Chains A and B, each alone.
Chain A
């Protein structure tokens, strides 16, 4: 990961949070839900209310790592006619108006279909930071490794509680920007508590040399954010934000982000709790 630190937008965003004595907040939104315009507005609201990085999901017909809330949202976006090229409009719409690092989270086939090089070129042009790839492991990523180097994009691979030491090393070595630690064995969706496995995964990633590890899956409130911020460089929230935009639109996203960000500090309690 060392060679890319100077050019990684994600790393820069996480390091900026670290310099402020806190973990980074990463918010997920599916592109085109409920519309492309609202995704852009919600992305801006995320950035203005405390998110350091934004993850824009590409709706896909077969989202095997997603739970029901995100499935319902992406299925609706597809039904309304979302096309993959619109993700670049969303990325550009957010990066042109905020300082947040914007990554795209995508299942791999839409990228294959467009062409890995072409997709990467257009993402870079839109100001995107890189890709999070839930069903692409480094073993199959030769083409993406080449394209991400060519266009200076971050490649965020996932590590899981089930990852062996050997696979952890391989994945950490292949990643740039940060490593996405899956907190539990399961799919996306809010859960009442964060699994203890998360801490072990982060420790294993750190031991393998990862400087930035962010934890996702099941995180939905400030208490959970605080718990994770104590040992990881970043906290990823998805389903809770999707539920917020579903139920309360952009304003609800702004309010939830503000609340989540109160959990980021590592230096003790917030004013409210003191």
Chain B
């Protein structure tokens, strides 16, 4: 399929967009600021000039062959792209016998998809003449990636991280500091990822002249959702080309985990305009969506505005943000990127919750069947892929085909080295008196 022109998703209503898609229109390259009724700029006036500057710089850069060449070079020679597309044959046996392929973002430098976005934004920061970047982080993955990009490009880096997360992820704090970043523990509000974003925004408004806010996910005010997606589109483009090359056909389904949704929007983008490909986003169901302790924003949230965008949001009847819960720090966020809210409303992508237990079972299964330790975030996508695989297998059987004819691609967004303490505690692998046991316990309380 030829690359569709941009702008077609900028429709007046969701119904128009859905109809246009069904008639062969494009959902790709949605430019923002709005995705249906989502997105926008719900931000203090003080920051609008900086957002305008960023938007203009980004729009120029993506049309600039030199910038594109810089990105391509960094992706290849620094991050190690293209990442592999690996068939998980033994794991697939647990998914009704369909064929599951893993998009190996875990093999990127720094161990996750996060590097794609930070390299792009750090280059833009330099183009704007900014000398300092700030970032928020939950468990530390985006903070480490930001510190990495800043070190590579000679930028000062300050990372905001919840005080509790700093203690829980002491090794990631050390990694950031080794890379030359300053980590500031956040003690305001609920001291979680959302409060780290609040403090980063407070820093940005005071230092916007020399500082770029290197937001870690496809959320926030325009141009962040469309821009972060742009830097992650490489995931979907590679995966689509790889499956066509390896199998000569498109997959039946694509699965990814959703916190803010950057790895997901990156891989989804490659397949949005392929109507035969079903797309699934798996949110963190925590202890279960009926327990109140979860991060299933689209499944149970209501539209609202937070951190600059209108999107689905976990909130109470007063519009106060509700704290999310997940064993996976990377999915533990009460909001979600606005493009996902739109794709959910028009029905192009199905969003479903996966509980902590389901994710951890899939975590262990991938370790033991494929010799790959996945991030707990990505394990939500793996658990979802098992469910999708079984449904596809049933469909195949009903129509006289075989499960082996069905192909599912899972975005393995990150590696699980960072999660070993949490997993070891979950599976009771630690001696009770060990220091690791203490760390694991804290991790489990996420």
Contact = CB atoms under 8 A, between A and B. Distances in A.
Interface of A: 60-65, 67-68, 71, 75, 78, 83-84, 108-114, 134-137, 139-140, 157-164, 167, 171, 182, 185-187
B49 A167 contact: yes
A83 B319 CA distance: 10
Contacts of A60: 319-320
Given A62-B307, A109-B305, A75 B40 contact: no
B28 interface: no
B321 interface: yes
A162 B198 contact: no
23 contacts: A61-B190, A65-B44, A75-B188, A109-B305, A109-B306, A109-B321, A110-B319, A112-B304, A112-B319, A113-B302, A134-B44, A136-B42, A137-B43, A140-B41, A157-B45, A158-B44, A158-B45, A158-B46, A160-B45, A163-B48, A185-B206, A185-B208, A186-B206
Contacts of A62: 189, 194-195, 198, 306-307, 321
Contacts of A68: 188
B206 A78 contact: no
Interface string B35-74: 0000011111111111010000000000000000000000
A163 B189 contact: no
Contact of B318 (A83, A182, A186): A83
Given A84-B319, A162-B208, A163-B48, 8 more contacts: A60-B319, A61-B320, A64-B44, A64-B205, A109-B313, A135-B43, A137-B48, A160-B44
Contact of B46 (A67, A108, A185): A185
B76 interface: no
A113 B318 contact: yes
Given A137-B41, A186-B206, A187-B205, A61 B189 contact: yes
Contacts of A63: 198
A159 B46 CA distance: 7
B97 to A, nearest CB: 46
B67 to A, nearest CB: 25
B320 A64 contact: no
Contact of A162 (B50, B194, B302, B307): B50
Contact of A110 (B43, B46, B302, B318): B318
A187 B189 contact: no
Given A62-B198, A186-B206, A140 B42 contact: yes
A113 to B, nearest CB: 3
A67 B317 CA distance: 26
Interface string B196-217: 0010011001111100000000
Q: Is the interface of A mostly helix, strand, loop or mixed?
A: loop
A83 B318 CA distance: 7
Interface residues of B, number: 38
Contact of A61 (B201, B317, B321): B321
Interface string B297-338: 000001111110000010101111100000000000000000
A111 B42 contact: no
Nearest to B53: A162
Contact of A112 (B45, B195, B305): B305
Contact of A113 (B47, B49, B315): B315
Contact of A111 (B40, B201, B206, B319): B319
Contact of B42 (A108, A158, A182, A187): A108
Given A62-B198, A64-B198, A185-B205, A109 B304 contact: yes
Interface string B133-151: 0000000000000000000
Contacts of B306: 62, 109
Residue in B205, B305, B320 with the greatest tally of chain A CB atoms within 10 Å: B320
Nearest to A60: B320
Interface string B260-281: 0000000000000000000000
A110 B205 CA distance: 22
Nearest to A166: B52
A159 to B, nearest CB: 6
Given A62-B198, A65-B205, A110-B320, A71 B189 contact: yes
Given A75-B189, A187-B205, A163 B194 contact: no
Contacts of A112: 303-305, 319
A108 to B, nearest CB: 5
Interface in B278-306: 302-306
A252 B53 CA distance: 44
A146 B306 CA distance: 22
B343 to A, nearest CB: 21
A64 B201 contact: yes
A139 B319 contact: no
A161 B208 CA distance: 11
Interface string B164-206: 0000000000000000000000001110001100100110011
Nearest to B209: A185
A19 to B, nearest CB: 30
A114 B319 contact: yes
A114 B320 CA distance: 11
A136 to B, nearest CB: 7
B185 to A, nearest CB: 14
Contacts of B41: 137, 139-140
Nearest to B206: A186
Contacts of A185: 46, 205-209
A182 B206 CA distance: 12
A140 B194 contact: no
B184 to A, nearest CB: 14
Contacts of B40: 139-140
B130 to A, nearest CB: 14
A78 B190 CA distance: 12
Interface string B3-43: 00000000000000000000000000000000000001111
A109 B205 contact: no
B202 A84 contact: no
